[in-house]
Structure 1
Amino acid sequence: MRCLVTGATGYIGGRLAPRLLAEGRAVRCLARTPGRLRDVPWAAQVEIVEGDLRRAETLPAAMRGVDVVYYLVHSLGQAGFEAADREAATNVAAAAREAGVRRIVYLGGPEPTDTAAVSAHLRSRAEVARILLASGVPTAVLRAAVIIGSGSASFEMLRYLTERLPVMVTPRWVRNRIQPIAVRDVLQYLLACLDLPAGVNRAFDIGGPDVLTFTDMMQRYAAVAGLRRRIVVPVRPLTPTLSSYWVGLVTPVPNRIARPLVESLVHEAVAHEHDIARYVPDPPGGLTGFDAAVRLALAKVRDADVETRWSTASGPDAAAEPLPTDPQWSGGSVYTDVQERRVAATVPELWRVIEGVGGENGWYSFPLAWAVRGWLDRLVGGVGLRRGRRDPHRLRVGEALDFWRVEEIVPGELLRLRAEMRLPGRAWLEMRAEPAGDGQSRYVQRAVFLPRGLAGHAYWAAVTPFHTVVFGGMARNIAHHAETPR
């Protein structure tokens, strides 16, 4: 079976394609900019074709020999997105019918009960569904509300609002009921649509086991993320338009995306039926609950390599983690300080200095600042610098090093330390030795901080002015020490 995935560079499409491959399906990906798929781990396993759903002439070649078309695109964030989505859906319907496609699968939005003042976002999603259902090609429309997973625009709004605002004044819609669904369950439904009976041509509501208000979701996110309970004060004057500007101010989610999403939240988004279960049984343990979905979305905070988006989307839980194709504003806040130096010494000579940091050897920069940081840490109940190091020359994974813990060592290449001092977040310090040619090397030093709550953001802002002195001096002195003959 050959599947065409439209929107493969997007949030859902980028997670669906590798799962189709894992099930042995032949996958063709349609992209306006094929280069955006060049570096995804599964690029060599799929056929990538250039095309645009709004350019009808590009679609016949893309759909030739295709059994199932996954329609996973929308123009949210563009001016006139309703007209753009209408044109794209009309083109896909005609091209799929002409090519003899057996099924279209579309991931849409919830159907509001109050249709008198439906938001433009939901109105457009419903119109696309109607066009595809009337295409003459059997179509399955999956109607989902808020999708829980890192990279989902709705989830990112929830994440940033909750983490950055311990006290918030909110519009009344935060009390509306919503039935969120984990991205892993959405993907499972999308995969299962391949096996629907040929005559099925209808929409299905899909949702997780929890029906919550937006306030409930913020409070439960805070609990899972280890934050204090949020103080939420709903007020009448905050209209959806004002709310979207407020979201754009507080979060990195662009206003052009936040506004239609916020306008959609004025409608309750609860599944009215669970007919999909006639064809796709719930998993043995049931659909993923909200708290579990949030934990999966936050599980990527497990080592310092956060902004490389290491997930290959190969496992069932990896869908909740970031991917290289996700928007830059997704995945939570990650602060970094990177220092690089070319070193007139060999990689082994540089590595000798890197592996010798800490303890009696010190940190090669501003000793008083490191000492003060250690005293402050002990003052608030932390470990301080008193632990030193076990061996003055060698380190091993898992051992303590002052107020760090050795998390990873690749001899001659990488030392990664995880902070164990008291912090409003999680921090790592990474040091690398790389060959630079001509018998020289390159020293790369990276500090990474993942803030927890508003205090975490304030902490990073407070210490940033000192980074040039402390981390810059550290990189400079490590390079100098490696170049000094022993």
Structure 2
Amino acid sequence: MRALVTGATGYIGGLLVPELLEAGWQVRVLTRDAARLDDAWRGRVEVVEGDATSTDDLDRALAEEGAEPLDVAYYLVHSMDGDGDFADRDRQLATDFGAAAARGGVRRIVYLSGLHPDGELSAHLASRVEVGRILLDSGVPTAVLQAATVIGDGSVSFAMLRHLTTRLPVMVAPKWLRNLIQPIAVEDVLHYLLATAGLPPDVSRTFDIGGPDVLTYEEMMQVFAEETGQRRRVIVTVPVLTPRLASHWVGLVTPVDAGVAKPLVGSLVHEVVCHEDDLVELVGPPPSGLTPYREAVHAAMRGVAPDTALRRLGEVATAVTAAAITGSLGTDPGSRWYRALDKPAWQPPSIAFPLVWSALYADLAAVSTATLVDLDQQGAADPGPASADGTTSAARAVGYERALWLNLALNATWGLSFFRARRPALAAVHSAVLTVSAADLARRAGAVQTRRGWQLAPYAAWCGFATALSGSLARRNR
């Protein structure tokens, strides 16, 4: 039996490949970068480096001259972002894939789609449904498996639920958190994906797949809290949070990017419950039966390092707040000495300084917390070297902490150089050192995630502006 797996570097595809190999399949994968494949099985599969957007690459992956046609091609590709053209991209990808599979004589396509109700759907769910329809119309027998939230460590939808529950003991949430959902354990998804490869050729249709429990998203969060030893969450639902607003909120609170959170949040607007279980009759249930939600949570969290977000937020917020208060106590813009200084025309009005600094302090706290949490998670997942110079994530976290504490100390004591010592020249030097420190923080944050470096850039730029202003005051008031 020969199979092609697309999306092998993704969560489901990366788990499906070793399951197929264990079952005795010959496996081929289509990937843009072979280096990203799992080292544990990369040498046991045939790798076709190419892009699913290329007709030539699809033909190479789905057919081989002189060889028997593939028994099954797993289509595990879809756009999961906030770009407006995702539906067009998915439509074209599915159309090209179906046509190439037909040309190559592939005996079956299996596609993992999203469980959905009848009627009007969110844009992303509608696109998933359309992709399934395109593959079903390709002329190749197709099984479209429709699943709701997949419970497993690595599932983006589960990561969103996990981090929302862990990081928000009290939350104001949309009213549609009370819509019904039928989650499914990732082990059960893999069972169905493997089993559908052997369906008779005359079976070409959609199948709903789900676990044995039907819960609201709020109930899923409460059960997760119970099963992971956390207190019951206080959840207040309101009717005013739109999916767009909620996705940005999710992107802020969890590691899930706002562009990825948008389709996930959008699907929560619908109740997603199985309407039939025909696939169980055709291929049978998983060997141990369907996995209850509580057991799926246990399995997903087995060996997962604790989330350090709340602890890190407390540490960073306390330190930043202390620096802000100390710094404000050290300034005296109303003093006779300061009012008598000759100031440049480009100096902002006094009211600008507290406003700008408040925004910058909030930015510094948010970015630093997220950076330290990421480094904690990376260190827990892989304690070995995490960068080209051999530095571990734990060491990088310690380095970032020290750089942050130094920066905050410089920030808090700047007023002593300017207002207490009344030495603008000394304050200019102090600001220059603070600017270098802020730029170093931006560099360290950017090394973990590029956009975070840019998010700290305004802080470094404002410190540089303070250096120029202090230097100008020193020259004007010798």
Separation in structure 2 between the aligned mates of residue 299 and residue 239 of structure 1, nearest angstrom: 34
Separation in structure 2 between the aligned mates of residue 78 and residue 213 of structure 1, nearest angstrom: 25
Q: 1:146 aligns with which of 146, 149, 159?
A: 149
Separation in structure 2 between the aligned mates of residue 90 and residue 45 of structure 1, nearest angstrom: 30
State the shift of 1:197 in Å.
1.1
Residues 5/233 of structure 1: CA separation in 2 closer, same or farther (3 Å cut): same
> After the TM superposition, which residues 129-278 of structure 1 pair with which residues of structure 2 at under 5 Å, given as runs?
129-278=132-281
Name 1:52's counterpart in structure 2.
Answer: 51
Q: Deviations over 1:253-308 (max 9, x none)?
A: 0000001110111000000000011212123542001110010111023xxxx6xx
Residues 431/211 of structure 1: CA separation in 2 closer, same or farther (3 Å cut): closer
Contact preservation (8 Å) 1:336, 1:447: no
Q: Number of residues paired by the alignment? A: 328
Separation in structure 1 between the aligned mates of residue 52 and residue 174 of structure 2, nearest angstrom: 37
Separation in structure 2 between the aligned mates of residue 180 and residue 120 of structure 1, nearest angstrom: 21
Contact preservation (8 Å) 1:8, 1:30: yes
Contact preservation (8 Å) 1:178, 1:270: yes
1:85 and 2:95 aligned: no
Contact preservation (8 Å) 2:166, 2:307: no
Contact preservation (8 Å) 1:336, 1:448: no
Name 1:66's counterpart in structure 2.
Answer: 70
Separation in structure 2 between the aligned mates of residue 168 and residue 42 of structure 1, nearest angstrom: 42
Q: 2:293 aligns with which of 290, 306, 310?
A: 290
Query: Which is further off, 288-297 or 58-67?
Result: 58-67
Contact preservation (8 Å) 2:74, 2:110: yes
Residues 193/223 of structure 1: CA separation in 2 closer, same or farther (3 Å cut): same
State the shift of 1:445 in Å.
10
State the shift of 1:110 in Å.
1.0
Separation in structure 1 between the aligned mates of residue 296 and residue 401 of structure 2, nearest angstrom: 30
Give secondary structure in 2 for the equivalent of 1:283: coil
1:10 and 2:10 aligned: yes
Separation in structure 2 between the aligned mates of residue 111 and residue 181 of structure 1, nearest angstrom: 14
Give secondary structure in 2 for the equivalent of 1:75: coil
Q: Deviations over 1:136-195 (max 9, x none)?
A: 100001000000011111101100000000000000110000000000000000000121
Residues 131/166 of structure 1: CA separation in 2 closer, same or farther (3 Å cut): same
Contact preservation (8 Å) 1:156, 1:332: no
Matched AA of 2:92: E
Separation in structure 2 between the aligned mates of residue 216 and residue 68 of structure 1, nearest angstrom: 37
Matched AA of 2:97: V
Name 1:42's counterpart in structure 2.
Answer: 41
Contact preservation (8 Å) 1:159, 1:332: no
Contact preservation (8 Å) 2:247, 2:261: yes
Rg comparison, structure with higher value: 2
Name 1:28's counterpart in structure 2.
Answer: 28
Matched AA of 2:219: D
Q: Deviations over 1:463-485 (max 9, x none)?
A: x969xxxxxxxxxxxxxxxxxxx
Give secondary structure in 2 for the equivalent of 1:154: helix
1:300 and 2:303 aligned: yes
Q: Deviations over 1:397-416 (max 9, x none)?
A: xxxxxxxxxxxxxxxxxxxx
Q: Structure 2: which 5+ runs fail to align?
A: 64-68, 313-376, 385-389, 407-478
Q: Deviations over 1:334-393 (max 9, x none)?
A: 8999xxxxxxxxxxxxxxxxxxxxxxxxxxxxxxxxxxxxxxxxxxxxxxxxxxxxxxxx
- In angstroms, what is the RMSD of aligned CA positions? 3.1
Give secondary structure in 2 for the equivalent of 1:130: helix
Q: Deviations over 1:81-129 (max 9, x none)?
A: 111110110001100001000000000001222x23x101100100000
Name 1:438's counterpart in structure 2.
Answer: none
Separation in structure 2 between the aligned mates of residue 12 and residue 202 of structure 1, nearest angstrom: 21
Moved over 3 A (4+): 331-337, 442-449
Name 1:107's counterpart in structure 2.
Answer: 112
Contact preservation (8 Å) 1:29, 1:46: yes
Separation in structure 2 between the aligned mates of residue 55 and residue 445 of structure 1, nearest angstrom: 37
Contact preservation (8 Å) 1:106, 1:141: yes
Q: Structure 1: which 5+ runs fail to align?
A: 307-330, 338-424, 433-441, 450-459, 467-486
Name 2:122's counterpart in structure 1.
Answer: 119
Matched AA of 1:69: A
State the shift of 1:34 in Å.
2.0
State the shift of 1:447 in Å.
8.1
Residues 333/6 of structure 1: CA separation in 2 closer, same or farther (3 Å cut): farther
Separation in structure 2 between the aligned mates of residue 170 and residue 125 of structure 1, nearest angstrom: 26
Matched AA of 1:234: T
Contact preservation (8 Å) 2:26, 2:45: yes
Q: Deviations over 1:11-55 (max 9, x none)?
A: 100000011000110000001222211x52100000111122221
State the shift of 1:78 in Å.
5.5
